[in-house]
Amino acid sequence: MVSIDSRLKCDTIVLLRSRLISLSRSLLTYVVTQTQETLMESTKEIMEATETQTQTQESLDSKRKEEDISNAICKERKYHVEKYVCRWAIESAIPFNAFETDSFKTMLEAVKTFESGVEPPK
């Protein structure tokens, strides 16, 4: 015959085992959920960082292109100015050593301050 005391112990053990399994499942579910959320947040942060880096690179590329175009325009303008000055010097029989004088350099600095709208002397 099985005593009531041993039967109670058996029921208690079964109940404790059942609760332990339930707690283990709950804990496992919680850990998995937290891990998934952490992975999703990390993935989101990585995607945002990648997007920001891509936008920054595109912005830098755009600025470089603008600078390249601006530099090309400046070189083109400089070429034309030099061509016109040389043509004027040749037509006017100005010796090329005149371009080495300080007064010529001072004149260029003065003209440069006007940007546009400078009229020739009358």
Per-residue pLDDT tens digits of the chain, which is 122 residues long: 557 677 777 888 888 888 888 888 888 888 888 888 888 988 889 898 888 888 888 888 888 888 888 888 888 888 888 898 889 889 999 888 888 889 988 888 888 787 666 676 66
Are 75 and 67 a contacting pair, CB within 8 Å? no
Instruction: Examine residue 120 and state whether it is found in any structural domain, yes or no.
Output: no
The domain total for the chain is: 1
Instruction: Examine residue 94 and state whether it is found in any structural domain, yes or no.
Output: yes
Instruction: Examine residue 121 and state whether it is found in any structural domain, yes or no.
Output: no
Instruction: Examine residue 14 and state whether it is found in any structural domain, yes or no.
Output: yes
Instruction: Examine residue 122 and state whether it is found in any structural domain, yes or no.
Output: no
Burial 93-107 (b: 16+ CB within 10 A, else e): eeeeeeeeeeeeeee
Instruction: Examine residue 81 and state whether it is found in any structural domain, yes or no.
Output: yes
Instruction: Examine residue 67 and state whether it is found in any structural domain, yes or no.
Output: yes
Question: 38 is in which domain, residue-wise?
Answer: 4-114
Q: Report the distance separating Cα 4 and Cα 38, nearest Å.
A: 50
